């Protein structure tokens, strides 16, 4: 049948993944760093993903396509939910158990080659972090793209020191960060949020998720964004 359906221009797509989260039917996925319509029968043609695309890569077209299959969409959602439940009930790696980390300050300053770690919590991956933990209470929260710590040489002293850390990569992790971050912010006494991201476009997905989380939490918390270049320079803060 001929009907209205979305079309994605891969040349305009920056791989941020925002449209993937915006599509409640699961019709869009990331393939080789680009958004792609995975199944015609999952697309309802309503275009919730269109206003979310920051580059205008998504438009409507009218072409031969399979009819929207609400039953197939519902079955796919149930399968994903079941898979998520099975994963949450399965084996938990001992290394992912939450714990606070305390560092003893040396009597004399450490030599540059032996700079002290400033990390004060574990785990740091957004996907592994607990929704509720004592180290979140009264915390200045750092939400950072994982590449930033490699790009910016003084990351520990500049950003990690005196902050609770959460890291992730919106391009590589097939998950909606905003829901998890919103739960963390809503269930803990977070004092402030600092978002550190790379200059590359796909890193905008982390900034977007953090901002969405702040809105969804219903709290008014001071926040700011720091952008780091691939050469290791701070472009804005």
Tokens 């080789």 correspond to: 32
Three-state SS for 151? helix
Closest CA to 17 of 197, 176, 194: 176
CB neighbours of residue 6 within 10 Å: 25
What does each C-alpha distance from 84 to 21, 90, 166 come to in angstroms? 16, 10, 21
What does the pLDDT average to over 171-199?
90
3-class secondary structure, 142: strand
Regarding pTM above 0.75, the answer is: no
Q: What is the pLDDT of residues 104-153, one digit of tens each?
A: 666 665 555 567 899 999 999 998 888 888 899 999 999 999 999 999 99
What does DSSP say about strands 190-198 and 223-228: parallel, antiparallel, or unpaired? parallel
Alpha carbons 182 and 217: distance in angstroms, whole number: 5
Q: Which of 96-100, 103-107, 231-235 has the highest mean pLDDT?
A: 231-235
For residue 95, pLDDT beyond 80: no
**pLDDT in the model for residue 235:** 92
pLDDT in tens, 74-84: 888 888 777 65
Q: Please list, in sequence order, all residues whose beta carbon lies within 8 angstroms of the beta carbon of residue 60, skipping any fewer than 6 positions away.
A: 4, 5, 6, 7, 45, 47, 50
Tens-place pLDDT, residues 187-222: 999 999 999 999 988 888 899 999 999 998 889 999
């Amino acid at each position: 049948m001929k009907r209205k359906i979305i079309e994605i221009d891969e040349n305009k797509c920056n791989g941020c993944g925002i449209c993937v989260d915006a599509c409640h039917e699961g019709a869009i996925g990331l393939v080789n760093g680009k958004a792609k319509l995975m199944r015609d029968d999952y697309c309802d043609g309503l275009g919730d993903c269109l206003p979310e695309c920051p580059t205008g890569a998504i438009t409507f077209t009218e072409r031969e396509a399979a009819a929207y299959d609400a039953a197939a969409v519902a079955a796919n959602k149930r399968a994903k939910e079941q898979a998520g439940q099975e994963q949450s009930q399965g084996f938990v790696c001992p290394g992912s158990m939450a714990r606070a980390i305390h560092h003893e300050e040396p009597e004399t300053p450490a030599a540059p080659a032996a700079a002290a770690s400033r990390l004060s919590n574990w785990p740091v991956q957004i996907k592994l972090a607990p929704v509720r933990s004592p180290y979140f209470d009264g915390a200045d929260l750092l939400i950072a793209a994982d590449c930033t710590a490699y790009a910016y040489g003084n990351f520990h002293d500049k950003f990690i020191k005196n902050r609770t850390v959460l890291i992730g990569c919106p391009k590589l992790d097939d998950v909606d960060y905003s829901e998890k971050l919103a739960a963390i912010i809503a269930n803990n006494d977070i004092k402030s949020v600092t978002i550190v991201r790379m200059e590359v476009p796909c890193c905008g997905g982390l900034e977007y998720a953090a901002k969405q989380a702040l809105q969804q939490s219903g709290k008014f918390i001071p926040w700011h964004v720091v952008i780091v270049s691939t050469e290791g320079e701070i472009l804005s803060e």
